[in-house]
Amino acid sequence: MPEATDHDTRHIYTSKAILEALDEEMARDPEVLLIGEDIGVYGGAFGVTRGLYEKYGPTRIWETPISENSFVGMAVGAAMMGLKPVVEIMFMDFIALALDQILNSAGKLHYMYNGQVTVPMVIRTPGGAKGGYGPSHSQMLSNLFVGVPGIKVVAPSTPCQAKGLLKSAIRDPNPVLFIENKRLYPQRGLVPAEDYTLPLDRADVSAEGTDLTLIAYSGMVPVCLAVRKALATRGVSVEVVDLVSLQPLDTAAILASVRKTGRAVIVEEACRTGGVGAEVAALIAAEALDALEAPLRRVAAADVPIPSSIELEKAVLPGTEDVVRAVRDVMTW
């Protein structure tokens, strides 16, 4: 995170930070354009693009029919021709409709044409559950994309990260999947007023500790910070590592923290099987097994569709009690 004084930072919402990044990059570079459903006059399903249509008009804000495969393919072509499209997929669940364009075009064309073309595009999409949205509007599908070569994947957890990472993603010559979290849109945090970018391949140590490492990303980072605060009153010093970048993983930061504390719990909102947490666990097992004083533990969503019932949704998704239970288990070794 860039250093800043109290005089040049503001407390703003994550949604506002993303809007600022889009506005500033569109003003800076006329090749940047936005593509998606309801992102113009309506301002986006979550209001993230509100006001941009009035400012930049239909030549820079392309409103589309309900056809994700088509408009993501259109964005790939535009990127190959030198534009810098930022695509909004209204709910991350809908990204499955454009999987072929992402998997077989966006991530591969640079390699297939031996570097003669680049695909500088960003796909923004809100993932995660938000209180009863149901099985087709609540999924965190990060596990589908971390194994796709040629695609960078980032998942900010703070307004500062959201703005700096999105600006970097727009300027990057490669396709970037930018995972937002519905529950984080109304979260406030300090954001520098000046122009800044953040690296797309670095984790962030959100809080330092000595007894155990909690590794998380996106909406689970605030959960882990709350657990850390609660456990501090019981004499347990917890370090929280925010992955930020899911592809590539910041292996150095992960391993440094685990070697420091000797214990680790990996927390994610996505389903447990085949997730980012599995990759992190495999990394630790391969590179830092000798540093562990207790077995690794993983906390994740159950391998079931997200229920529409809010109470059932809570039972499926990981929460503070699940994380505390895993920490207690690890600390007893």
| H runs (alpha helix) in the chain | 14-28, 52-56, 68-80, 99-101, 109-112, 159-171, 220-232, 251-261, 276-287, 310-316, 320-331
Task: Give the integer Cα–Cα distance in Å for 48 and 122.
Answer: 15
Q: What amino acid occupies position 261?
A: T
Which entry of 88, 137, 268, 279 is annotated as an active-site residue?
A: 137
User: What span, in angstroms and rounded, lies between the C-alpha atoms of 265 and 212?
Assistant: 8
148-173 in b/e burial notation, b at 16+ Cβ within 10 A?
bebbbbbbbbbbbbbbbbbbbbbbbe
Q: Is 20 a catalytic residue?
A: no
The neighbouring-strand residues paired with 271 are: 301
Q: What are the backbone dihedrals phi and psi of residue 300, each rounded to the nearest 5 degrees, phi first?
A: -155, 175
110 in active site: no
Phi, then psi, of 13 in degrees rounded to 5 = -75, 155
Rounded Cα gap, residues 96 and 18, in angstroms: 23
For residues 290, 270, 167, 182, the Cα torsion angle rounded to the nearest 10 degrees is -140
One-letter identity of residue 128: G
- 212 forms bridges with which residues in the sheet? 238
Biggest CA–CA distance in the chain, Å, is 61
Query: Taking the CB of residue 95, how many other CB atoms lie within 10 A of it?
Result: 23
The one catalytic residue in 20, 25, 37, 68 is: 68
The shares of helix, strand and coil residues in the chain, as percent rounded to the nearest 5, are: 40, 20, 40
Rounded to whole angstroms, how far apart are CA atoms 137 and 203? 28
Q: Which residues are catalytic?
A: 68, 137
